[in-house]
Amino acid sequence: MSIHADHMAHIAANDPAGRRAALFRESPLDMAERWTLAAARLFKPSRLGALPGFAKIFTEELLSPNYALPDPERALDNPPGLAGLVHGKLTLETLLEAYRRGLYPLAHVAPLKWWSPPQRSALLFDDMHISKNLGKTMRQHRYTVTFDRDIERVIAACAGRRKGRWHLTWITPQMMRLYADAYDAGHVHSFEVWNDRGDLAGGGYGIGYGAGFTSESQFTNESNAARIGMTVLNWHLAKWGYRFNDGKLIGPLWTSMGFHEMPRAGFLTRVAEAVRAPGKPGRWNVEDDIDTISHWRRGERPTSPLPVEQPVRERNMRDQLADA
């Protein structure tokens, strides 16, 4: 399995431009499908109430473009978290500055938009949860996890089709290339989960800024593969002193792993603290084995060079809710 991973990394290292050109593309038919599904989603009855907000932002910014990043605390209530439009070409420098302010870019179709949701899904590592079934699967030695070994394939898979779901993705070729550039600069990191046949069973990627980290997307081809990779990632983030893993919006996967929603103001405070810490530069490697990580229990900490604090009152409140 490690031989397979090394081979894939060798291919990517020898022809990254050609590989990206082959993987980071969208056919005219796929583009038409994306635009059609995005329009259908926008005009769903449940989303019609957001149209005035979209119209307000579009009118104000298209008539008087503001190339400065918007204030995340002034994002709209409806649609929840819409903060502004991305004007011109989105550069790596602007992308990184946006994350340092608690913003992220997302759009199924142009124009690209800045978002800062009123409730942010984030994992504080004292809350990390590994279910008994997941821990058992991790100890069966069926999977190997690597970091930063095949970013192109991971991004392409995250943008790919999902069984039983409409194919509407925000990971367009433009975004693929941008996050790949951020990977080259050492800011974006991927995790890959390989099965015992050497196949890519799951993976994901995210972006670091100081000691903050935002998970962008994940995919899984086998049950629990993405959960295993994300658990290994969270272990290392905690060990390396990261303050949190930002999941943007809450969902079943995040809830099952211990992510919680926190108000925008509280999240922005944590971001401001995190960007002042160094994080871990350069390419990442997995430093601990899956069996050890599978025994991680809530409240325990891998050895970390940076203290990661969580208010006792907040933790006690969560304990009370969990026990209720």
Instruction: Answer yes or no: are the C-beta atoms of 188 and 182 closer than 8 Å.
Output: yes
**Contacts for 262 with CB less than 8 Å, ≥ 6 apart:** 119, 120, 122, 270
Q: Are residues 70 and 208 in the same domain?
A: no
- Give the residue from 117, 132, 165 where a domain finishes: 117
How many separate domains does the chain show?
2
Does the pLDDT at position 322 exceed 50? no
pLDDT category of residue 13 using cuts at 50, 70 and 90? low
| Domain, as residue range, for 68 | 2-117
CATH of the domain at 256: 3.40.630.70
Q: Are residues 95 and 239 in the same domain?
A: no
What pLDDT is stored for residue 215 in this prediction?
98
pLDDT in tens, 110-145: 899 999 999 999 999 999 999 999 999 999 999 999
What pLDDT is stored for residue 86 in this prediction?
94
Question: Whose CA is closest to 228, among 191, 199, 283?
Answer: 191
What pLDDT is stored for residue 181 in this prediction?
95
What pLDDT is stored for residue 321 in this prediction?
40
Q: Are residues 204 and 289 in the same domain?
A: yes
pLDDT in tens, 177-236: 999 999 999 999 999 999 999 999 999 999 999 999 999 999 999 999 999 999 999 999
Q: Which two tokens stand for residue 33?
A: 């499908």
CATH of the domain at 39: 3.30.70.3550
Question: Whose CA is closest to 98, among 113, 108, 80?
Answer: 113
Q: Are residues 34 and 79 in the same domain?
A: yes
Q: Are residues 228 and 126 in the same domain?
A: yes
